[in-house]
Amino acid sequence: MNVQKLNGQKIENQDSYKSLLLLDEIAKGEPLSQRDISKKLNIALGLVNSYIKNLVSKGYVTISAIPAKRYAYYLTPKGFSEKTRLTYQLLQDYTNIYKEARRDFRKLFHALSVAGAKKVVFAGVDEVAEIAYLSLQEVDIELVGAFDDEKKGTTFFKTVVLPFHEINQCEFDNVVLSTFLKRKEIYHKLLENSVAAEKILAIYDVHQ
C-alpha cells in the first residue's frame, strides 16, 4: 500500500471530516456554545474555535449572538453546498482506501494461510479491523481474539474485545495490526506486553 499517499489522504480526511461534523451540527439550527459543540462532537474546544473561524472566513457559516453567552450558527447557501461536497469527497476517498486495504489484507491472509497459520488475533478495533475481518473470511484462518484498550468490553463480530494486557492468555500464530490511525501506538503496546515483533503483521508501515 502507498502509505505516504494514504497518510496524506487521512490527514486531509480528518480535517474534512471534522468540518463536515461541524457543518452537520450547525445545520440543525440549535443555539449552541462552542463548548456545547466540543462536547457533542468530542472535538477539543480550541479546535472547534479554529474550525468555526475557518468556516466563517470562507463564508460557509454566519453567527448571531443570543443571551447566556450562546450563539446561533447558521449555514449559508454556500455552506450547504460545501456540506454536500465534503460528504461526496469523503465517500470517494474512503472508497479508495477501502479498496486498497481490502486488497492488501487479502494478500496478507493468503500468505499466512500458505505458511500454515491457523489462528490470528486483531490488535486495534475500528473500520480497518472490519475490512480485515471480511478479508479473513476468504481463508481457513480463525480469529481467536480482538484487543483494544479503548474498546474493551465491546463486541467485534461476536468476539468480545479485551485489553492488551490479556493478549498472552490467547493462543495465536500471529497478531494482525488492524488499525491505521493508531498503528504506531498499538504496535508499541504489543511490544510492551511481550508480543514478539516477528509475530506482529501489518499492511501499513508502523514506523510512519
Q: What is the pLDDT of residues 96-153, one digit of tens each?
A: 778 888 999 999 999 999 999 999 999 999 888 999 999 999 999 999 999 999 889 9
Q: Is the pLDDT of residue 6 over 60?
A: no
Q: How far is CA 137 from the centre of its chain?
A: 22
- 197 Cβ partners below 8 Å, 6+ apart? 191
Q: What is the largest CA-CA distance in the chain?
A: 67
> In whole angstroms, what is the distance from residue 84 CA to residue 25 CA?
14
Model pLDDT, residue 5: 42
What tens digit of pLDDT does each residue of 9-24 get? 444 566 777 888 888 8
> In whole angstroms, what is the distance from residue 175 CA to residue 195 CA?
8
Model pLDDT, residue 208: 62
Model pLDDT, residue 19: 86
User: What's the burial of 168, exposed, middle or buried (CB within 10 Å: 0-12/13-18/19+)?
Assistant: exposed
> In whole angstroms, what is the distance from residue 124 CA to residue 187 CA?
9
Per-residue cell: 127: 473500520
3-state secondary structure of 115: coil
Which domains can be identified in the chain, with CATH numbers? 3-93 (1.10.10.10), 116-201 (3.40.50.720)
Model pLDDT, residue 13: 60
3-state secondary structure of 2: coil
DSSP for 150-174? Answer: GGTTSEETTEEEE-GGGGGGS--SE
What tens digit of pLDDT does each residue of 166-197 get? 999 999 999 999 988 788 889 999 999 999 99
> With a threshold of 0.85, does the pTM exceed it?
no
